[in-house]
Structure 1
Amino acid sequence: MLNLQNTLVVSLEHAVAAPYCSNRLAQAGARVIKIERAEGDFARGYDSTVHGESAYFIWLNQGKESLVLNIKDSKDAMLLHRILASADVFIQNLAPGAIARAGFGSDELAKLYPRLICCDISGYGDSGEYRGMKAYDLLVQCESGMASITGTPDAPGRVGVSACDINCGQQAYSAILEALIEREHSNKGCIIKLSLFDSMAEWMAVPLLHYDYTGIIQKRVGISHATISPYGAYTCGDGAVIVIAIQNEREWLTFCSDVLGDPSLQKNPKLQSNQLRVANRSYMDQLINQVFSGLSQSQVIERLQQGKIAYGKLNDISGLSNHPQLRRISIDTPSGKADVVAPAAIHSNKKHVLQKVPALGEHSDLIRRQFSK
């Protein structure tokens, strides 16, 4: 049976993707040794939002042990080898080629430590003309086409969080768990390779299939769904915005009668299927706006609830901060306690343990003593 409480993870990491992955492993009970340069993970310097600490670093490094190493130094390199000899997982997301030049490439480690699971996270993978390029989240959002379908009709936009990094880190976490389960049976480690580009390209499957098989490029539609309608934001008479989602024809019929108050729309030839509603989006939006403009947001919500139509409010970050469904936990940081978003998964047989965010090199002496021989 897989038990992450007995799992040692070593992560030579910076920024977001690899730290996200190792943070998930730490939350699942693994011991995670985070290897940092003398100047630290550069995400420590992204901002000073939380008691002088970086919001990015606080988010991604709970429950880890910080070990400062210079892997170009022979003594520190030998220490890393001693740690890896006892480790279960090794994660790295250094610049292209850097880990191999330092003597810790996955192929070499697989020969030295057959049970070790190695996870290499890169921008574009090990092959192809982009293999040597540095890659950061915004760049990959642009290269993958994500930015081209995000935003308003007037201009493309960036997804407002590090979507490529988070996606890749989550996929790395899943792949490592699969490898740990497989090792329970085979007693053999493996090499896992992921790239930010591949991870985001997988997310782009639907718009890519639409283009490959129809030649149609998905349009930017702002706070609306590109291929389902009505599914988007509408302004009410009091200026507040409501977002509605119609997923099937049964809901469309109910929406016409119970929310718009016009059952005759059900037989309108321009609106009798989702594809027709997408093609005639402007016409349909005009009909909806005519009704919603005469109602307050609370009145619209009342009708939507009566019709059991899915809806949401278009919150800003202050709305999220005060959202009745938002769960938080309090953690220790190098500069004091901080309230952060609680892990999404709630386990019936496991209580979340509050974990500390490490100061730079906080565990260096302890780890060096433990692996001194």
Structure 2
Amino acid sequence: MAGPLDGLVVLDLTTHLSGPFCGMQLADLGADVIKIESPQGDSMRGAPPFIEGESAPFMLWNRNKRGIRLDLKDAADLETFWELVDGADVVLENFRPGVMKRLGLGWETLSARNPQLVLGSISGFGQTGPYAGRGGFDLMVQAMSGLMSVTGPKDGPPYRIPLAISDVGAGLYLTIGILAALQARQATGKGQWVETSLLEATVSLGVYEAANYFANGKRPEKLGQAHRGSSPYQVFQTLDGWLTIGGAQQNFFRKLCAMIGKPELADDARFRTNADRVRNNDLIVDLLQAEVLKRSTADWMTALEAEGIPAGPVLHHDEVFADPQVLARGMVAEVEHAKAGRQKTLGVPIKMSATPGGVRRAAPALGQHDDEIKHNKPKGKKPWSGRQSRSRQSR
């Protein structure tokens, strides 16, 4: 079954994680994403761990793509690239600002060649502004976005979260922007340049912290495991592990107090409302923790589920990928790689009833589709005949 983006041709010039992650989203939803690498290949091919000499991280976020090697400084390869541009809908790049233009591949040049083209760009700090020329990776962006200042123990140093949140966030935002630009093209017949940055993506994810600062002008303090606007809402230690409990909603809190044999806490002036509990979070958490520690994670899960109180065990990744809900939702898939053999990969999180996405192919081995792509290039776009806008159609 064809995915919702079937027929869309995407040229993916990106490396590392942010851009390839965007390309993976489009490929998962059915687009023909052609990964264009230098003759040496994406530097992420050198990222461990390896399976039969192939990088496991590279294989994960470059799945569903075809691959071709092109040296954009070579005249013949550059001509091949321009022929691919003629038949493309989207070009993705995550070079430092200015590099594409120096290569003769800037927005004005691409748009002149194919006016229907959408160019998607990710950079560390954006195409404009005083930091535009800086290189940026997830580490420094987690620091500069404010994320590290509120992560970790209350009295500890700044913490980097191990997820590459700025790369993944920027990749997702660029995906949204590209889809919006393609929708706009339906009405105008023209493409446009869509760009975002690791910094903007990560700053935008700090919604509670921004609301806190905009409300009172003060630096959001580090809260450790606590939540800025809900209580109790954090991780607790059980007899044999760890458990998260979301008991901030008033009916949940009352039930939780009854479960630990202290129903009077629900009417205690210190805990009567969620705002009261946020102010006195350490105290209510200490009272709850003393009781939670007496029973196993499984016992608590059974009891909390019976009362409808949101809760979840803290799982390690071997447990995550064996979890019945994760498996039932298809979040573990398998593909056959040309060199590494049968491999597990993440499933597609977006579920669509009529045109679902899917994992159709493994990431390309370096140069795997060189001949296939060179001899069967996507055909050039026909002159845009135009589509009436929805408002015009309704007249």
Give CA-to-partner distance per residue, 1:265-316, whole Å, 9 cap, x none. Answer: 1111111122221221121112112222333333322331232111011112
| Counterpart position of 1:359 | 365
Alignment pair present for 1:234 and 2:240: no
TM score, norm. by length of structure 1? 0.94
Task: Give the 3 Å change call, closer, same or farther, for CA 148–103 of structure 1 in structure 2.
Answer: same
Amino acid of the structure 2 residue aligned with 1:267: D
Aligned partner of residue 156 in structure 1, secondary structure: coil
CA distance, structure 2, for counterparts of residue 155 and residue 204 of structure 1: 19
- Report the CA distance between 1:372 and its aligned residue: 11
Give a deviation string over 1:5-57, Cα, whole Å, max 9, x none.
21111111101111011111111111111110111011111113334321221
1:320-363 deviation digits (Å, cap 9, x = unpaired): 23322223111122321101121112232346353122111111
The Cα of 1:168 is off from its aligned counterpart by 0.8
Deviation at 1:252, TM superposition (A): 1.4
Structure 1 residue runs without a partner (length 5+): none
Aligned partner of 1:252: which letter? F
User: CA separation in 2, counterparts of 1:205 and 1:60?
Assistant: 27
Output aligned runs, 1:141-160, within 5 Å. Answer: 141-153=142-154, 154-160=156-162
Q: Tell me the matched-pair count.
A: 370
Contact 1:243 1:314 in 2 (8 A): yes
Task: Indicate the larger mover: 163-172 or 176-185.
Answer: 176-185
1:118 and 2:119 equivalent?
yes
1:159-238 alignment, distance < 5 Å: 159-236=161-238, 238=239
Equivalent in 344, 347, 350 of residue 342 of structure 1:
347
Greater CA drift, 346-355 or 272-281: 346-355
Question: Which stretch shifts more, 239-248 or 211-220?
Answer: 211-220
- 8 Å CA contact 1:156–1:220 kept in 2: the answer is no
Equivalent runs, 1:100-115 vs 2, <5 Å: 100-115=101-116
**Which residue in 1 is equivalent to 2:292?**
292
Aligned CA distance change for structure 1 residues 314 and 219 (closer, same or farther; 3 Å): farther
Aligned 1:1-373 pairs, distance under 5 A: 4-153=5-154, 154-236=156-238, 238-257=239-258, 259-327=259-327, 328-333=332-337, 334-350=339-355, 352-371=358-377
Decide whether the 8 Å contact of 2:84 with 2:378 is kept in 1: no
Amino acid at match of 2:183: I
Map Cα deviations across residues 124-179 of structure 1 (whole Å, 9 max, x no partner).
11111110000111111111111111222212222221111111111111111111
For 2:316, give the aligned amino acid. Answer: D
CA shift digits 1:222-248 (9 cap, x unpaired)? 333232110011112x24211100242
Contact kept? 2:152, 2:224, Cα under 8 Å: yes
Whole-angstrom distance in 2 between the partners of 1:79 and 1:255: 65
CA–CA separation in structure 2 for the residues paired with 1:244 and 1:370:
55
Q: TM-score, normalized by length of structure 2?
A: 0.89
Q: Which letter maps to 1:211? A: Y
Quote the Cα distance in structure 2 between the aligned partners of 1:115 and 1:7.
12
CA contact (8 A) 2:348 2:359 kept: no
Q: Secondary structure at the match of 1:155?
A: coil
SS across alignment from 2:287 = helix
292-301 or 42-51, larger mean C-alpha shift: 292-301
Name the aligned partner's letter for residue 173 of structure 2.
Answer: Q
Of 238-247 and 215-224, the range deviating more from structure 2: 215-224
CA contact (8 A) 2:87 2:377 kept: no
SS at match of 1:340: strand
Higher RCO (CA 8 Å, separation ≥ 6 residues): 2
Q: Residue 152 of structure 1 aligns to a residue in which SS?
A: coil
CA distance in 2, matches of 1:278, 1:335: 51
RMSD of aligned Cα (Å): 1.9
Paired residue secondary structure (1:151): coil
Determine the C-alpha separation between the residues in 2 that align with 1:142 and 1:51. Answer: 36
Deviates more, 1:341-350 or 1:126-135: 341-350
- Taking a change above 3 Å as real, the CA distance of residues 254 and 216 of structure 1, as seen in their structure-2 partners, is farther
Separation of aligned partners in 2, 1:107 and 1:222: 48
Give the Cα–Cα distance (whole angstroms) in 1 for the partners of residues 311 and 22 of structure 2: 32
Q: 1:179 to 1:372 in 2, by over 3 A?
A: closer
Cα shift readout 1:185-239 (whole Å, capped 9, x = no counterpart)? 2211111111111111111132022113213333333333232110011112x24
Rounded Cα–Cα distance in structure 2 between residues aligned with 1:104 and 1:282: 56
- Matches of 2:67 and 2:218 in 1, distance apart? 49
CA distance in 2, matches of 1:96, 1:207: 29
CA distance in 1, matches of 2:52, 2:278: 48
Question: Counterpart of 1:301 in structure 2: which amino acid?
Answer: M
CA contact (8 A) 2:24 2:65 kept: yes
CA contact (8 A) 1:219 1:226 kept: no
Secondary structure at 2:50 match in 1: coil
Q: Is the 8 A contact 1:330 1:354 kept in 2?
A: no
Is 1:96–1:134's contact at 8 Å kept on the other side of the alignment? no
